[in-house]
Structure 1
């Protein structure tokens, strides 16, 4: 079928058919209605943009990801992309250098007629409400919706941090340090809060906390700052992600002559592929990223089909990958305590 066939059936000129499928072109509502009816009858869909005009769906899913330089996110993106393709949709990617850039990125998102969105970045209350006003289904990925009726899949970052601290403390570590993630990262703040909470509960000294940026250099710089402030090597350094843990480990071993884990334990988060390499073998916490991505897209697919409904929040637990960079207790009393509490509940 060609535009000529559509024009013939609709009783209009070929130029009218072209204008009908050109965004912003001048065409009367009556003529547009005739062309659309003819196009549907003839199954004439010249391109994806025209298809969206007819079906009112673009088959585009916006994915907003914070700090793509953090090597955790490429894995998230890969898993989301596969699941979105299985829905018959295409992924439209928006990335942030800083979480504070979300407002500008959303302005770009609204330029497209997206069918839904998965957001792995912090949204303000007003920004979450804007998705509802625009009738764009939204699923948050590893971000808390707070009190809003927003669908979300998220890992319990605080609980993961508490588990790690407990295993280290049970092995005899007393003086902790934290190389934190970016200040505007909700995940980084939840992890730090979990560390502080568990140390307080155990009656251990408050940790030395230094800021980082989720990159390799932050790990090495952070370790030097910790030792400068503390005046000695800490018992354990908990890094906000594995890339910083690798930077910390390289600096400790190759520049400062610190024996890891004999003199100092090092741990991270996210279980990146590089953290499992033989030369690193980082002790870390793994999130079920593939499961989370599968569930997030399935949730979004249901929202795009039926709209509305009660907001669903799915929480997942990280599990400890016991590498060779940290001395851990052989009997995780904290986990046994948690399991006992869950059984009694």
Structure 2
């Protein structure tokens, strides 16, 4: 025998409240007393009731769904961002749909699926867009915020950090420690973060009268970075310092240097990363790095997206937040042989 479906009217009758009170009890941030909500939840559990969110979205014309698009969660920085964003949106009564866009095809590979999903907004984590793609996204009328990437287009909100300043500090600081063969371990070559960090790095070296010794590409991935490190240190003239475009690659480089190549970090090679993921603080890594203000980035991005969802005429914003150098044990100590005055860390 087919079981009769339980309705909100059944829950209201058992709880002794109105049907609208049942609806409010299942709506985050709705006005309802704790006493009423408790009675409704007890009645719902007893009857086995679950609200029909699809039916509700048809009535309210609101899916309460946000699309999160990323190319990978290998980098712990993005799992951290995703966790914080998820907690924020859940408190506001939104559900998240996660989409993966391969780095070689980008947003084009998922845009049709996102549109079919009837999401109310899109949060992009490290997705690279060109100007034409950005214009296409804006034309669909779905609010979009990009986190940790920039695009030369004013019509989409963007939240990131001062990558150029961080790269400048890394180049200048390594040179100030007395290093003379300072290499760069690149991320995804066409990504704005990689380009800005590299340009800043080169400028920082130039401020100390130096040039970049060598470049290899690690694609922001652990295995790729390990292979890139092997290539750097198989060359006739090997680096004595390395700036990696993210912490995951910096950690891969340090482990390759120590455990495969038998080189001491930082005595023979100094290493700097970028992000300040939790692993960078572990004693076995003790990575000198540039800290991105992840909490601020998440708050700014999620607030911007919800504001655009609530008010269609909200103007897009481009927000750049500062980075903070975190000095640890993967770099030489200032004041050693050949060292100069260290650069400012503000």
Q: What residue number does 2:311 align with?
A: 306
Matched, 1:154 2:160: yes
Matched position secondary structure for 1:309: coil
Residue in 2 aligned with 1:195?
201
Greater helix share, 1 or 2? 1
Task: Give 1:228 shift.
Answer: 2.4
Unaligned runs of 5+ in 1: 6-44, 340-345
Query: 1:234 — aligned with what?
Result: 239
Q: 1:175 aligns with which of 162, 176, 181?
A: 181
- Distance in structure 1 (CA, Å) of the matches to 2:254 and 2:247: 10
Q: What is the Cα deviation at residue 218 of structure 1?
A: 2.7
- The 5 A counterparts of 1:281-300 are 281-300=286-305
Structure 2 unmatched runs, 5+: 1-5, 11-49
The corresponding residue for 2:279 is: 274
Show CA shifts across 1:130-183 (max 9, x none).
Answer: 333322111111121323222121111111111111122122122111111122
CA contact (8 A) 1:61 1:115 kept: yes
In 2, Cα distance between the equivalents of 1:145 and 1:215? 22
Q: Over residues 185-231 of structure 1, what are the superposed CA-to-partner deviations in whole Å (9 max), with x where a residue is unaligned?
A: 322222222212222343203330011132222333222211223x2
2:144 matched residue in structure 1: 138
1:28 maps to none
Name the residue aligned to 1:116.
121
CA displacement 1:85-125 (0-9 Å, x = unmatched)? 12211111112231523201112111111111111211232
* Deviation readout 1:42-78 (Å, 9 max, x if unpaired): xxx9622222222111000111112222222111111
RMSD: 2.4
The whole-number CA distance in structure 2 between the counterparts of 1:4 and 1:283 is 60
Does 2:133 align with 1:127?
Answer: yes
Aligned to 1:208: 214
Runs of 4+ in 1 over 6 A off after TM superposition: none
Measure, in 2, the Cα distance between the counterparts of 1:147 and 1:184. Answer: 16
Q: Take 1:153 and 1:290, find their aligned partners in 2: how far apart are those partners?
A: 12
Assess if the C-alpha contact under 8 Å between 2:176 and 2:208 holds in 1.
Answer: no
